[in-house]
Chains A and B, each alone.
Chain A
């Protein structure tokens, strides 16, 4: 029988980031959709209501939390463990991306075991969370800061307005990119449940507990294969440490 080892993958700050991010995106998407399409119209005197104003307020406050959270994660790329890193400039990253892509396209039957993210997943995070997320922050802050054209926020983010050809385009981009999040969510949920079901490695619960379960006999060699330099020493060190602790498993 295969023996599974418990490996500590997601540190507490990573898990915290994940859930704060998920919470913020949910709030931002809902309030943002209302701002884009105010579906409910209230009746009576205007003085008695502040529906759009409240939505806008919640949207902006959540956006600031979202931005702070993203900045914190940026720091954790540097401070975190090996699974927290995204080294897309390495050749092995792209080799693994194509290998994983082939696996997902059913072109190769062999799944390469990954303890942290596979490179394809990392690449999607780079696009959907980091590139699109940065654009969301810049365009959003630019629209927010337009009400104070001589303020600091406008000085920091106002440049995007002429770059995109006017604030209307800024709005359109903000709205279009927002749809990237539910799009991402479909892929994200599908892939992680698939992974969990096929490899029974605890992917789903790992974002709460921090632990994944890796086959001891098979994991060492392929992981070494792929990570000749990357996932490497730290990961294996952690693996070793954990496996010695959890020998009873």
Chain B
């Protein structure tokens, strides 16, 4: 079956019993989520009605499956259904019924039939240490699995912090030498969708955008879809008013915590984390970590696991090697400089006194 023979998203939706009204609602929600203006809506609808469903291969490499868990728990029922079904998921170890040789055969078939036309979604990092023995699938190393699947992909979505920056297993000292997808795949566009886990709607949004405009969505300077990752959590935080007022939680059981004050001093990384948590939120807009009283860990930022300790505002520099934070380093520097200046002053005074005693006459002192 070629790609052209595949049904469109709208045909598929009708077959599933989704009404036109709900279909249009989905298109509108997607347009809003992508930050497109209202005039883009007819284009989205047209694309969803006419374009065939993009086949998707979803690889699970060196990871904990939290991204998949997020992926299948998208809050909005329609979105959840569409995420699972609209993208024509041809291979995903977590969800597929087939296993072993059958599953591998299905993947090979998709890769052959839709060469250059399928989207590759990768969850997990690539273990490259010791020839890649730390993570193998069907007897193959993660690197060879990824390279094989990426060859015929139109683009690669690095889904989750593992695929974007090797996440926890890539933190110091990185024993399996885990590397992110972008270090292995250099000849294809790689869209980074970081987060531990990331927000599921980003995948749907990216696919809808590609279908509508035929190009990949605009990315930030860190290679992430701009519609979701351009803003800092801090700048849209529902506790921001407490930050600006200067009201901070000092411990998790104090009065400030009960009042819902700012979690900045509890180590919140919201001021430096670019993600849509504060805007789209999780579980159908129910909440997100800061809203529910826990500081942001900055899980969508590179190597967030090394930027600890999590519950202090200022991390150690550089990542557990020195084991001191900038203020400690600064104060030590000041102490050393002060002591050095004092010692130098004493040495100068001693030198001068010595000089005075050896050449005691004022005539000598004046030099000329």
CB within 8 Å of B: which residues of A? 1-2, 36-38, 40-43, 46-53, 55-56, 104, 106, 143, 146-147, 149-150, 158-159, 161-162, 165-172, 175-176, 178-179, 182-183, 186-187, 190, 194, 198, 217-218
Q: Whole-angstrom distance between the alpha carbons of A144 and B330 in the complex?
A: 23
Q: Whole-angstrom distance between the alpha carbons of A95 and B211 in the complex?
A: 66
Residues A171 and B272 in contact, CB atoms below 8 Å apart: yes
Q: Whole-angstrom distance between the alpha carbons of A146 and B236 in the complex?
A: 12
What string of 1s and 0s marks CB contacts (under 8 Å) between B300-328 and chain A?
A: 01111001000001110100000000110
Residues B272 and A166 in contact, CB atoms below 8 Å apart: yes
Please pick, from A41, A143, A171, the residue contacting B248 in the complex, using a CB distance under 8 A.
Answer: A41
Q: A183-B333, A187-B341 are in contact. Are A170 and B303 (CB under 8 A)?
A: no
What string of 1s and 0s marks CB contacts (under 8 Å) between B344-367 and chain A?
A: 110110011000000000000011
Q: Whole-angstrom distance between the alpha carbons of A190 and B337 in the complex?
A: 10
**B100 CB–A CB distance under 8 Å:** no
**B274 CB–A CB distance under 8 Å:** yes
| A165 proximity list for chain B (CB < 8 A) | 302-303
Residues A167 and B333 in contact, CB atoms below 8 Å apart: no
Residues B348 and A172 in contact, CB atoms below 8 Å apart: no
Q: Whole-angstrom distance between the alpha carbons of A168 and B297 in the complex?
A: 11
**B245 CB–A CB distance under 8 Å:** yes
| A43 proximity list for chain B (CB < 8 A) | 247
Q: Nearest Cβ distance between residue B248 and chain A, in whole angstroms?
A: 5
Please pick, from A41, A150, A169, the residue contacting B230 in the complex, using a CB distance under 8 A.
Answer: A150
| A186 proximity list for chain B (CB < 8 A) | 334, 337-338, 341
Q: Whole-angstrom distance between the alpha carbons of A49 and B261 in the complex?
A: 13
Question: In this complex, which of A37, A48, A167, A218 has the most chain B Cβ atoms within 10 angstroms of its Cβ?
Answer: A167
Q: A36-B314, A172-B326, A186-B341 are in contact. Are A46 and B241 (CB under 8 A)?
A: yes
CB within 8 Å: A-B pair count: 135
Residues A218 and B313 in contact, CB atoms below 8 Å apart: no
Please pick, from A36, A170, A176, A198, the residue contacting B348 in the complex, using a CB distance under 8 A.
Answer: A198
A-B contact pairs, 26 of them (CB 8 A): A2-B368, A36-B327, A41-B248, A46-B247, A48-B245, A49-B246, A51-B246, A53-B245, A149-B226, A150-B230, A161-B221, A165-B303, A167-B301, A168-B272, A171-B272, A172-B317, A175-B314, A175-B326, A176-B317, A179-B327, A183-B334, A186-B334, A186-B341, A187-B337, A190-B345, A198-B352
Residues A2 and B366 in contact, CB atoms below 8 Å apart: yes
Q: Whole-angstrom distance between the alpha carbons of A143 and B235 in the complex?
A: 12
Q: A172-B314, A186-B337 are in contact. Are A50 and B244 (CB under 8 A)?
A: yes
**B75 CB–A CB distance under 8 Å:** no
Q: Whole-angstrom distance between the alpha carbons of A168 and B267 in the complex?
A: 12
| A46 proximity list for chain B (CB < 8 A) | 241-242, 244-245, 247
Please pick, from B235, B247, B344, the residue contacting A41 in the complex, using a CB distance under 8 A.
Answer: B247
Residues A168 and B269 in contact, CB atoms below 8 Å apart: yes
Residues B222 and A161 in contact, CB atoms below 8 Å apart: yes
Q: Nearest Cβ distance between residue B128 and chain A, in whole angstroms?
A: 20
Q: Nearest Cβ distance between residue B146 and chain A, in whole angstroms?
A: 23
What string of 1s and 0s marks CB contacts (under 8 Å) between B91-132 and chain A?
A: 000000000000000000000000000000000000000000
Instruction: Please classify the interface of chain A as helix (H, G, I), strand (E, B), loop, or mixed, using the class held by over half of its residues.
Output: helix
**B329 CB–A CB distance under 8 Å:** yes
Q: Whole-angstrom distance between the alpha carbons of A127 and B368 in the complex?
A: 37
| A159 proximity list for chain B (CB < 8 A) | 221
Residues B301 and A106 in contact, CB atoms below 8 Å apart: no
Residues A162 and B246 in contact, CB atoms below 8 Å apart: no
Q: Whole-angstrom distance between the alpha carbons of A170 and B222 in the complex?
A: 14
| B274 to chain A: closest residue by CB | A167
| B344 proximity list for chain A (CB < 8 A) | 104, 190, 194
| B250 proximity list for chain A (CB < 8 A) | 41
**B264 CB–A CB distance under 8 Å:** yes
Please pick, from B221, B256, B272, B337, the residue contacting A162 in the complex, using a CB distance under 8 A.
Answer: B221
Question: In this complex, which of A162, A165, A172 has the most chain B Cβ atoms within 10 angstroms of its Cβ?
Answer: A172
| B315 proximity list for chain A (CB < 8 A) | 168, 172
Q: Whole-angstrom distance between the alpha carbons of A101 and B338 in the complex?
A: 18
| B43 proximity list for chain A (CB < 8 A) | none
| A183 proximity list for chain B (CB < 8 A) | 330, 333-334, 337
Q: Whole-angstrom distance between the alpha carbons of A51 and B314 in the complex?
A: 20
Q: Nearest Cβ distance between residue A57 and chain B, in whole angstroms?
A: 10
Q: Nearest Cβ distance between residue B270 and chain A, in whole angstroms?
A: 11
| B367 proximity list for chain A (CB < 8 A) | 2, 218
| A33 to chain B: closest residue by CB | B327
Q: Whole-angstrom distance between the alpha carbons of A161 and B313 in the complex?
A: 19
What string of 1s and 0s marks CB contacts (under 8 Å) between B243-262 and chain A?
A: 11111101000001000000
